[in-house]
Structure 1
Amino acid sequence: MSSYAPTLFFFREDMMAAMMENGHEIIAAAPESEEEWADKFKERNIKYVSIKGIERTSTNPIKDVIGFFSILKSITKEKPEKIFTYQAKTVIYGCIAAKIAGVKKIYALMGGLGSVFRNNKKSFARNIMKIEYNVAFKYCDKVFFQNKDDSKEMLDIGLVKKEQIVMINGSGVNMIKFSEKPIPKEPVFLFIGRIIKDKGVAEYIEAAEIVKEKYSEAKIQIVGYFDTNPTAIKKEEIQPYIDKGIIEYLGSTDDVRPFLERCSVFVLPSYHEGTPKSVLEAMATGRPIITTDAPGCRETVVDGVNGFLVPVKNSKVLAEKMIWMIEHREEAEIMGQKSLEICKEKFDVNKVNEVILKTMEL
């Protein structure tokens, strides 16, 4: 269960396939309409049900109550033996509804603590979420975490018990679907992600200005969609930089592989992550990485080995490392090879799914 159908369809396809290979029936649930998604999931032999009312970025309590009862209705109707849920609202309401409906085994995945939880330690919304997580996790058999920073924080504030925690290396990456590709000779930097402040888009653009002053031939690209997240950036805010040729906005896509193939360095200056899947996919194609020394992001890079870790919200250091990549092409290519090695060893989706299925006794 997720609060956004595309992440279920694209990010959890290997996990659901592994479950089915072991003889289990899968039902996928998310807020988006059955008219839009049921046939797509059916092609993968997965039933899809819509849980109406859940809006991942809404702060309307009435909609959340409607969403909770929609989840409860769906779980009561489908009668699953086990439930796996992720993303904040579906974790909270899904786990509580599952307990009420009598589901035998309940599992939650924390893909990241999110902007509401991370950005303001004293906010009213964060305090409400703490209470909600506290209730939801009481009903969980296990809670999967993708990085030690998140698990430690939730443990320290008493929202989860140590014996509930299971660590996994992100969502993993399909090493067949994402395979090594030659690095192009020209300097092409690529960011893939939601266009929100918490992904470090503003710092990326500021760094692009610095890089372009010295190396005008460098291409600095963005692939992603404009979200409704509390830290969302509107297209008109980045349009002047597009018009000046500082960045290239390439739109959104369901298949990032062609963009990864054409880049020489992958950049994600995010403020926090679970473990960024975009970085893992770039690593699988053999790209050096520049990301932040932040929760989740630091799980993917050994500084100076397969890329660089830079301080959060520091466009100057980010630009310095981007320029280093241009001026040290051979070393950058070696870093790309190290990314691939680390990815094979640590982030192969089969290894990640093995932990999940074993924990869930599937």
Structure 2
Amino acid sequence: MRSENQTIRYRIGVIANTVFSLINFRGPLIKAMSKRGMTVYAFAPDYDERTREAVRALGATPVDYSLARAGMNPFRDFADLLKLARQLRELELDASFSYFIKPVIYGTLAACLAGIPRRVAMIEGVGYVFTEGERFGLRRRVLRTLVVQLYKVALKQTQRVFMLNPDDRKMFVELGMVDPGKVRLLNGIGVDLDQFIVEETSAETVSFILIARLLKEKGVYDYIEAARIVRRQYPRVRFTLLGSVDLNPGSISQEEVRAWVDEELIEWPGHVHDVKPWIAQASVFVLPSYREGLPRSTQEVMAMGKPVITTDVPGCRETVEDGVNGFKVPVRDPAALAEAMLTFIRSPHLVAPMGRASRRKAEQTFDVHKINAEILEAMGI
């Protein structure tokens, strides 16, 4: 294994679906690659001047490419794939690193067409088409079948596939989407423990925050219903919802969210560039998701010493030791979620020790520098 400071000659393309994720989720990894002397090209479809400079500050070269982040238009997607393959070929890369569903599928296939010798993918979660909701309609079943076939083709062209929880690995292997020998399980994507530090709040006034893209599958409706239940007994409890509406088919509408704000049920700042001040002023983090990879939001709040209420589902259950750093509740059960919230309201002395337990677990498990070193070692660089 190479030491972290060993300079190497290596050209790699990191292919994302948004520049926000490049900066906020892949930033430390890009820095680690650059520190080793690698030439990093950061591909995203939505650059502006500010984000270009932010990516350059990480040590990478920003590259625009065409990607329809939502929807499945085969003609548009195929045309984009060919354009990306030409871009990759011109750069004469040694490796590609793709994450999120479309970059993994089309980015990997484009890298193969471009003759890039080493192709690596990261599956951060199974996504909308694999998340079981109350209704799993014909459209989603058809889309799921298509995505399974596309994953089979794309992941066959990889040398390494990173995944974040054993349930996702099991699903991908059982559906024949990936060779189990290619999979490397990680403890999440990690968080910079020097940036996300503990800031304890007053135990006298318990408040709650949910940070997520505003998708039904994130359990937003369950959070809202649980807030209503709690408010009937404790009308002054503060609930914050942090995140923006999305292009995803499972997105909640902006009109719905504004109605909750008008009802004075929640505070909704929308999408913010820095979540740390919002985490700092909350007592407890809530994520009633239906399924996750291993959520970065939970890793961040744990690093900042917050207890967590989450669902007992893949990707969420790994973050909480029940009764130690928070509580696990059944999925799609607002009453159980509300009861867990009420436990903190009635026993505010639980917030601080459970928050300290979260920080300990983050230090043991979610250190981004350790995880990135593991990624680079597994990639053979």
Q: For this structure pair, what is the TM-score category when the shorter chain's length is used for normalisation?
A: over 0.9
Q: What's the Cα RMSD here?
A: 1.4
Tell me the amino acid that sits aligned with residue 25 of structure 1.
Answer: T
The aligned counterpart of 1:239 is 258
The aligned counterpart of 2:243 is 224
**29, 43, 58: which one aligns with 1:29:** 43
> Cα offset for 1:40?
2.6
Distance between the aligned counterparts of 2:78 and 2:49, measured in 1? 23
The aligned counterpart of 1:95 is 108
Q: Using a 3 Å threshold, how does the CA distance of structure 1 residues 345 and 88 change in structure 2: closer, same or farther?
A: same
Q: Deviations over 1:84-108 (max 9, x none)?
A: 1001111011111111211111100
1:58 matched to 2:77? The reply is no
Aligned to 2:39, what secondary structure does the other structure show?
coil
In structure 1, list runs of 5 or more residues that go unmatched. none
Distance between the aligned counterparts of 2:84 and 2:187, measured in 1? 28
**347, 352, 358: which one aligns with 2:366:** 347
Instruction: Count residues in correspondence.
Output: 361
Tell me the amino acid that sits aligned with residue 224 of structure 1.
Answer: G
Distance between the aligned counterparts of 1:184 and 1:50, measured in 2? 45
Q: Using a 3 Å threshold, how does the CA distance of structure 1 residues 111 and 271 change in structure 2: closer, same or farther?
A: same
TM-score under structure 2 normalisation?
0.92
TM-score under structure 1 normalisation?
0.97
Contact residue 222 and residue 247 of structure 1 kept, 8 A? yes
Q: Using a 3 Å threshold, how does the CA distance of structure 1 residues 71 and 34 change in structure 2: closer, same or farther?
A: farther
The aligned counterpart of 1:142 is 160
Tell me the amino acid that sits aligned with residue 187 of structure 1.
Answer: V
1:297 matched to 2:316? The reply is yes
Q: Using a 3 Å threshold, how does the CA distance of structure 1 residues 33 and 174 change in structure 2: closer, same or farther?
A: closer
> Cα offset for 1:311?
1.2
The aligned counterpart of 1:162 is 180
Q: Using a 3 Å threshold, how does the CA distance of structure 1 residues 211 and 34 change in structure 2: closer, same or farther?
A: closer
Contact residue 207 and residue 319 of structure 1 kept, 8 A? yes
Q: Using a 3 Å threshold, how does the CA distance of structure 1 residues 91 and 143 change in structure 2: closer, same or farther?
A: same
Q: Deviations over 1:221-260 (max 9, x none)?
A: 1111111111111121122321222111122101000001
Contact residue 82 and residue 103 of structure 1 kept, 8 A? yes
Tell me the amino acid that sits aligned with residue 77 of structure 1.
Answer: E
Q: Deviations over 1:128-169 (max 9, x none)?
A: 111111011111101000011100100111111121010001
Tell me the amino acid that sits aligned with residue 100 of structure 1.
Answer: L
Distance between the aligned counterparts of 1:35 and 1:179, measured in 2? 30
Aligned to 2:256, what secondary structure does the other structure show?
helix
The aligned counterpart of 2:28 is 14
Q: How does 1:136-285 map to 2 (within 5 A)?
A: 136-185=154-203, 186-285=205-304
Moved more, 31-40 or 139-148: 31-40
> Cα offset for 1:36?
6.0
Distance between the aligned counterparts of 2:52 and 2:308, measured in 1? 36
Tell me the amino acid that sits aligned with residue 157 of structure 2.
Answer: Y
